[in-house]
């Protein structure tokens, strides 16, 4: 979205509603997101609900002193299914013990198992898993680590065809 200074400047000049609208418009330009969410990306009510939720989350985060209090307040606010809160709390608590620079991907696999074994519905499991997979890939990208997909090792400089078990 911020592929040039003009877009960034325009974004920063807008109020929160305008920024949200700009983000949604950019999301609607992505074929994957458009096919997945369709008209929801253009629904003003959805945009406003997202903004309201973000504001509540920010307020809760600013008001609380502990992680437990944060999750309790989110539950009280009724923002999402308590099962989702429980899974997210378990994931975030575990992340505090992971050294991201040296992690070999073990916790990433554990997160996917936590989600898979949870009481969440299949659509929610898919969305959470998608986020974890994107986060893990982003972590590898920013740390410039090799990432293995389907037995093919992609590294910074070259493509090495090797099977990693």
Structure confidence by residue, pLDDT tens digits, 79-138: 788 888 888 888 887 777 777 667 677 888 888 899 999 989 998 898 888 888 877 776
Q: Which residues, including other chains, have CB under 8 Å from residue 147's CB and lie 6 or more apart?
A: 137, 140, 141, 153, 154
- What percent of the chain lies above the pLDDT cut of 70? 77
- Compute the distance between CA of residue 2 and CA of residue 104 in angstroms, rounded to an integer: 31
Mean pLDDT of 71-85: 86
In three-state secondary structure terms, 105 is: coil
**155 vs 51 pLDDT, higher one:** 51
pLDDT of residue 63: 92
For residue 161, what pLDDT is reported? 41
pLDDT reading at 29 higher than 80: no
The residue to which tokens 């325009």 are assigned = 10
- Given strand 159-160, what is the order of strands in its sheet? 147-149, 152-154, 159-160
Residue found under tokens 């009280």: 76
């Amino acid at each position: 979205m911020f592929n040039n200074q003009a877009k960034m400047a325009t974004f920063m000049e807008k109020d929160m509603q305008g920024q949200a609208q700009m983000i949604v418009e950019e999301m609607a330009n992505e074929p994957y997101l458009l096919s997945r969410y369709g008209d929801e990306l253009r629904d003003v009510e959805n945009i406003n609900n997202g903004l309201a939720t973000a504001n509540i989350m920010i307020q809760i985060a600013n008001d609380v002193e502990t992680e437990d209090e944060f999750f309790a307040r989110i539950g009280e606010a009724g923002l999402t299914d308590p099962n989702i809160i429980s899974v997210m709390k378990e994931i975030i608590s575990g992340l505090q013990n992971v050294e991201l620079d040296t992690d070999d991907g073990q916790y990433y696999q554990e997160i996917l198992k936590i989600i898979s074994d949870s009481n969440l519905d299949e659509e929610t499991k898919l969305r959470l898993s998608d986020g974890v997979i994107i986060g893990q890939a982003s972590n590898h990208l920013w740390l410039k680590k090799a990432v293995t997909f389907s037995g093919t090792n992609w590294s910074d400089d070259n493509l090495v065809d090797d099977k990693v078990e």
